[in-house]
Amino acid sequence: MDKVTIWAPAKLNLTLDVKGKRPDGYHELETIMQAISLKDKITIDKANTIIVNSNSSQLSNDANNLAYYAAELFFQETGKKAGVNIYIEKNIPIGAGLAGGSSNAAAVLLGLNHLYQTKLSLKDLAELALEIGSDVPFCIFNRTALARGRGEILSPLPKGHTLNFLLVKPNFSVATKDVFGQLDLDKIKKRPNNEAFIKAWRDMDLDKMAFEMINVLETVTVSLYPEIGLIKQRLLELGAVNAVMSGSGPSVFALFRDEDKLKIAYNYMVSDYDEAYIVSSYFGSE
């Protein structure tokens, strides 16, 4: 086998709470993560060095690209004297709070393990993944999960229900490091109750799930970029049960009970935002 193709889905943070700052500088998270149908396609084939190409002019092709960095780390850890030719068909918006880069990195680790028959377990790959970034371990499994610690302590939720979302990415990007850097834990007034969310998830109680869809990082990102607040407002006016920012932003996703309302809302939003998408929960394969 010389060539492998892997799907790399985006993720949403259905809830996101920050419990505190850790001595290592990271923050202690409690977030429910869900992979979605918006995905990149990663093709890798054997080569002598690491080469990255993509259909996006915004992506770098060196170690600043997490896919490149993942390959470098993989060869370093496994001691394989080899390389890989990586092609990224980019569909996930960049710098969006959707873990696009993390998902690409996870796909490269999974693909290389397959291509070079290195037989690392998913647990081994998840450990390697954490060296790349806090969201990367989730992307190894892509199972709906409550993530704690930096994001690597994953407790899967029972096999899920397919939810439909309208996702809107405004025309700017946000650096995660800056958002966490400006987070003031004393300013957080509303936090998600993850236990209540998980109960609602089990019961498929859309209203209760929507009620707990809260992201405490909005206290930073929405203050910096009021447009995010306006997008949330518009989505609610268009009939969403709730609309919330994903990760450190700036993407906003809205949960709809009614598919027709979702389509109408999409038609409105896409006239102002190039990067508006109807997406659904993703549980693997195609």
Question: How many residues of this chain bind ligand C5P (CB under 6 A)?
Answer: 11
What gap in Å lies between CA 165 and CA 13, rounded to an integer?
Answer: 12
Q: Specify whether the CB–CB gap between 15 and 218 falls below 8 A.
A: no
Q: Is 3 a catalytic residue?
A: no
- Are 279 and 167 a contacting pair, CB within 8 Å? yes
CA–CA separation, 225 and 240 (whole Å): 21
Out of 17, 39, 135, 169, which one is annotated catalytic?
Answer: 135
CB 252 within 8 A of CB 226: no
Complete DSSP assignment for 127-158: HHHHHH-TTHHHHHH---EEEEETTTEEEEPS
Interacting positions 177-206 with ligand C5P (CB under 6 A): 177, 180
Q: Tell me which of 13, 15, 65, 176 binds ligand C5P, using CB under 6 A.
A: 176
CA–CA dist 29, 4 (Å, integer) = 34
C-beta closer to ligand C5P: residue 82 or 130: 130
The distance of closest approach from Cβ of residue 247 to ligand C5P in the complex, given in angstroms and rounded to an integer, is 9
Phi-psi region of 249 (alpha: psi -120 to 50; beta: other; left: phi over 0): left
If the CB atoms of residues 95 and 170 are measured against ligand C5P, the closer one turns out to be 95
* Tokens standing for residue 196: 């209540």
For the bound state, the minimum distance from the C-beta of residue 212 to ligand C5P, rounded and expressed in Å, comes to 20
Verify binding: residue 65, ligand C5P, rule CB under 6 A: no
Shortest spacing between CB 220 and ligand C5P, in angstroms: 12
Asked whether the beta carbons of 32 and 144 are under 8 A apart, the reply is yes
Binding letters toward ligand C5P, positions 23-52, x by CB under 6 A: ---xx-x-----------------------
Tokens of 32: 């429910």
Amino acid at 198: I
Which residues are within 8 A (CB) of 41 and not within 5 positions of it... i.e. 6 or more apart? 5, 6, 7, 8, 88, 89, 91
Binding mask 123-142 for ligand C5P (x = CB under 6 A): ----------xxx-------
- Residue 205 a catalytic site member: no
Cβ closer to ligand C5P: 104 or 164?
A: 104
Q: Which of 114, 143, 150, 199 binds ligand C5P (CB under 6 A)?
A: 150
**Cβ proximity to ligand C5P, 85 vs 103, nearer residue:** 103
Considering the rule CB under 6 A, would residue 151 count as an interface residue with ligand C5P?
A: yes
User: Catalytic positions, please?
Assistant: 11, 135
Q: Which positions lie near ligand C5P, rule CB under 6 A? A: 26-27, 29, 133-135, 150-151, 176-177, 180
